[in-house]
Each structure stands twice: as C-alpha cells, then as structure tokens.
Amino acid sequence: MWSKSQEEVKIKMAVLLTKDTKVIVQGITGYQGLFHAKKMREYGTQVVGGTRPGKGGTEIEGFKVFDTVKEAMQETGATASVIFIPASGVKEAAFEAIDAGIELLVVITEHVPKVDVITIVEKAKKHKINMIGPNCPGIITPGQAKIGITPGNIVSPGKVGVVSRSGTLTYEVLEQLTKAGVGQSTCVGIGGDPYKATNFIEVLEMFEKDPETEKIVMIGEIGGSAEEKAAQYIKEHVTKPVVGFIAGKTAKKGKTMGHAGAIIQGNVGTAKGKIEALQSVGVKVAERLSEIPKLLES
C-alpha cells in the first residue's frame, strides 16, 4: 500500500505518461507524423487523433484529423500532444498547444531556431506545462505507452529510470538493458539541443520521487554543463543509485563559440570533466555502454 505522499508522487509521475494518457499528434498527415502515430498506437498508446489545419473532419489510417488542437482536445479528451512538424512551424504549433491548455508537450522536430526554442520554453514555463524537447526521442513507459520515436521493441517494464541527452544512444542503452534483463520504469529523452524545455535535473527529481523507479541511468555527452549541474543535484537530492555514461571521450576539442562562449562556460564541457564530476558524487560511470547493466547490479 502507498502512503499518502507516495500516492501524490505516483500521480505526478502519471502526469508524464501512462496507458491512460490520451495523445494527439500535431502534423499527423505528414510522413513522419503518420508513421510514428501508427507505431505509438501499435505500442498501446492512446493516440486519439491529430491535427492538420485545413484537413479537419477527415480521417487518416483510422486517426481523426482536426484543424486545431483545441478542437482535438475538446472532442477526444487528449491531455498530451507530440509535435511532428517542420522546424519553421514548430513555434506556432507549440504556442497553439500551450494556449489550448495541453498538459504534456513533446517536440520531436530537430533544427528549431534557438530563439524560437527559448520563446516556446518560456511560454511553457509560464503556463506550467510539462514540455520535453525539441530534437528529442520523447518518452516511453515500457509496457504502457510511448510518445515520440523510441522503438517499442527494445524496452521492457522494470525499475530503472533512464534519462538521456542523446537520441540513438538512448536506444542502444535501452536495448542493452533489456537484453540483460534489466527492465525500465520510464525513459525520457530530453534532447540534444543546448536550449531545451526539460533537462537532467527535472527528470532526476521525478525519478527520485517516483516509487516505480529504484535505480537511474543517465546518458550525457560532451558540451555544455548540464551533466556537471546534474552531478551537483545528485549530490544534494538523489538517494537512488545512478549509473552514468558520457559520449564523446575521443572527440577533438571543438571550436568554441567565440570568446564569450569560452569565458562563460569555462572549462566545463569535456567528457573528462563530466565523468569526474559524476564520479565525485558517487555516480558509477560506464566506459562502454555494454557495462551499464553490470554497473546497475553492483
């Protein structure tokens, strides 16, 4: 039986994604949108329809198509939306979803202009909605539902929460875990862009509070200081075991973004620095992805 505070936490985690979450796809008539709407439905997600302005009232492969997010939400009871729309239309699509009152917004599209991303994220914050992305694989709750593009056949239900900055690398980790018999509670791909709605810390907080999650895997890569900040957060707030991995150990030192970039960000951003930061707070860092299941056991 759950205690009250655990019950609250359970509800909070459910906000992200369960088998009961009703999802719409913005851009459902597009090549990627339709393909992944079907994949999500096959996996068990309640994909209740999608939007394509101008095609409202039609149907595509069994999905209802609406002109607007508001209509889709009103008619289907959807609370989550996933955006599969070209970069130039993402700002408008995200604004529409937020203004329509969506609770969870996942933006898969990559190459969204940075000023647009920041503008969207600020609006999402102001409206206190959960937003993941852009340029991310989305969320999968194994055995229940997925929003986004994570292949459904590489996950299995279990107790390990996975959070990752990288798209394809996430899949690799999930598959390794599944092959090794280590199931996952939820996997959140936060996306690889420097500017994004949800970062490691927010997901670590959810995993720490989520009774379904016992251990955490965190996949980072070179650049920025998100992993260093996450290490600080882990030190102060995370009691569950964390296993980490950092990609880009052999990368050449890239060109900096100019003096301001170098000065502002200091020496953070290298794989070495990130690995050390994580190890210093007790995170076991895998050298190869294939070591992760073993490190989780120990």
Partner 1 sequence: MIKIGLILEFEGKNLFRKYNIPLVNSMLVTNEQEAIEASQKLGLPVAVKAQVLSGGRGKRGLIKIAKTPEEVVEKAKEILNMESDGRPVTHLLIEEAETIKQELFVSMLFDPETYDVKVLFSPKGGIDIETLAKEEPEAIETFIIPFGDRSYPYYFMYKLKERGIQSKQVVPLARIISTLVKMLYDEDLQLAEINPLVINDKGEVIALDSRVVTDDDALFKHPERKNYLSETLRHTKAEKEAEEAGLSFVDLDGDIGMLSCGAGMGMATADLIEYFGGEPRNFLDVGGGASPEKVSEALRIMMEEGGLKAILINAFGGITRLDDVAKGIIDAKEKYNINIPLVIRLTGTNQEEGVRILKEHGLKAYLDMEESIEDVVKESRGGQN
The pair of three-digit structure tokens given for residue 235, joined into one six-digit string: 């030190």
E strands, the chain, in order = 22-26, 46-51, 59-60, 63-66, 80-83, 104-107, 130-132, 138-141, 145-148, 157-164, 184-189, 215-221, 242-247, 284-286
Q: Which one among 14, 15, 60, 87 touches partner 1, defined by CB under 8 A? A: 87
Closest CB 167 distance from partner 1, rounded Å: 5
Q: Which one among 62, 101, 194, 282 touches partner 1, defined by CB under 8 A? A: 194
95 binds partner 1 (CB under 8 A): yes
202-241 binders of partner 1 (CB under 8 A): 219, 221-222, 224-225, 229
76 binds partner 1 (CB under 8 A): no
Q: Which one among 5, 279, 280, 290 touches partner 1, defined by CB under 8 A? A: 290
Q: Which one among 166, 184, 186, 213 touches partner 1, defined by CB under 8 A? A: 166
Q: Are 136 and 108 in contact (CB under 8 A)?
A: yes
168 binds partner 1 (CB under 8 A): yes
CA atoms of 73 and 118, how far apart (whole Å): 25
Give one DSSP letter per residue of 183-241, joined into a string.
Answer: -EEEEEE--SSSS-SS-HHHHHHHHHH-TT--EEEEEEESSSSHHHHHHHHHHHH--S-
108 binds partner 1 (CB under 8 A): yes
CB nearer partner 1, residue 3 or residue 250: 250
127 binds partner 1 (CB under 8 A): no
CB nearer partner 1, residue 53 or residue 241: 53
Q: Which one among 70, 127, 159, 209 touches partner 1, defined by CB under 8 A? A: 70
Please indicate whether residue 111 is annotated as part of the active site: no
Give the residue among 228, 180, 236 at the shortest CA–CA distance from 208.
236
Closest CB 199 distance from partner 1, rounded Å: 9
CA atoms of 39 and 150, how far apart (whole Å): 9
- Residues known to be catalytic: 259
